Amino acid sequence: AQSVTQPDIHITVSEGASLELRCNYSYGATPYLFWYVQSPGQGLQLLLKYFSGDTLVQGIKGFEAEFKRSQSSFNLRKPSVHWSDAAEYFCAVKTGTASKLTFGTGTRLQVTL
Amino acid sequence: DTEVTQTPKHLVMGMTNKKSLKCEQHMGHRAMYWYKQKAKKPPELMFVYSYEKLSINESVPSRFSPECPNSSLLNLHLHALQPEDSALYLCASSPLSILLGNQPQHFGDGTRLSIL
């Protein structure tokens, strides 16, 4: 069965600093990978997705993620963080024709001014 | 603004009450989902509907009863819930295609449920 690991439970960065959130997956074939963001009291918003092709994918709000098959990773990056980026970030994977999303445990991002 | 609308946003109910959560989407998606999310945890899948038919039930207790009256609506009927059922209940939808895996799910803002 597929699994997703987000090693960092909580990350604090200063506004304007760069950000990288880690995500590792476990699956035998190429999975379908997603990053979602959840602000307090809100649902999940899709930031970006990877299915195939170019391993560097661009998303909304200035986020990007890079798929590295050799490392089974799909890390999320942003060159300059804004205070409004403070939220919970979830990496998720779907495999093949399964419709079930498997989520990582999430990383809580705090942004200091 | 979310394209998946959930009502009510908040619900407080006693353990003997019967209530329903509602979810609506007008994106033409033929797959709809219910998730339960406890504080500081990721969402946990409860049910999946494909073409208005229940396709996945993740061993959810029978006090939760899903219903999909049409392709735009998804309900979750609640009866005799327990305090541990207090959580954020999220609805999601996605397109269905032969290649199901490559379609992202779109989430509503959820219903925060409190059981007294």
Distance CA B45, CA A108 (A): 21
Distance CA B71, CA A49 (A): 25
Lowest mean pLDDT among A3-7, A46-50, A54-58, A96-100: A96-100
Average pLDDT value for chain A: 92
User: Is a pLDDT exceeding 80 seen at residue B78?
Assistant: yes
pLDDT digits 0-9 by tens, B8-46: 999 999 999 999 999 999 998 989 999 999 999 999 999
Quick one: pLDDT at residue A28? Answer: 67
Average pLDDT value for chain B: 92
Tell me, yes or no, if A110 comes closer than 8 A to chain B by beta carbon. Answer: no
Quick one: pLDDT at residue B77? Answer: 98
The model's confidence at residue B52, banded by pLDDT at 50, 70 and 90, is very high
Can you read off the two tokens belonging to residue A9?
């439970």
Question: What residues of B are in contact with residue A105 (Cβ under 8 Å)?
Answer: 41-42
Query: What is the rounded radius of gyration, in angstroms, for the C-alpha atoms of chain B?
Result: 14
Distance CA B81, CA B62 (A): 10
Residue type, B112: R
**If we measure between CA atoms, which residue out of B44, B21, B26 comes closest to residue B106?**
B26
Q: What is the DSSP letter of A30?
A: P
Quick one: pLDDT at residue A100? Answer: 80
Is B102 in contact with A36 (Cβ distance < 8 A)?
no
Is B101 in contact with A32 (Cβ distance < 8 A)?
yes
Tell me, yes or no, if A98 comes closer than 8 A to chain B by beta carbon. Answer: yes
Is B94 in contact with A99 (Cβ distance < 8 A)?
yes
Mean pLDDT on A92-106:
80
Mean pLDDT on A20-30:
87
Quick one: pLDDT at residue A96? Answer: 56
Quick one: pLDDT at residue B112? Answer: 97
Note the maximum CA span of chain B. Answer: 44
Quick one: pLDDT at residue A101? Answer: 87
- Beta strand segments in chain B, E: 4-7, 10-13, 18-25, 31-37, 44-50, 53-57, 64-70, 73-79, 87-94, 106-107, 111-115
Name which of A38, A44, A52 to mutate to probe chain B: the one with the most chain B Cβ atoms within 10 A of its Cβ: A44
Is A42 in contact with B110 (Cβ distance < 8 A)?
yes
Is B48 in contact with A49 (Cβ distance < 8 A)?
no
| Burial environment of residue B17 by CB neighbours within 10 A (0 to 12, 13 to 18, 19 or more) | middle
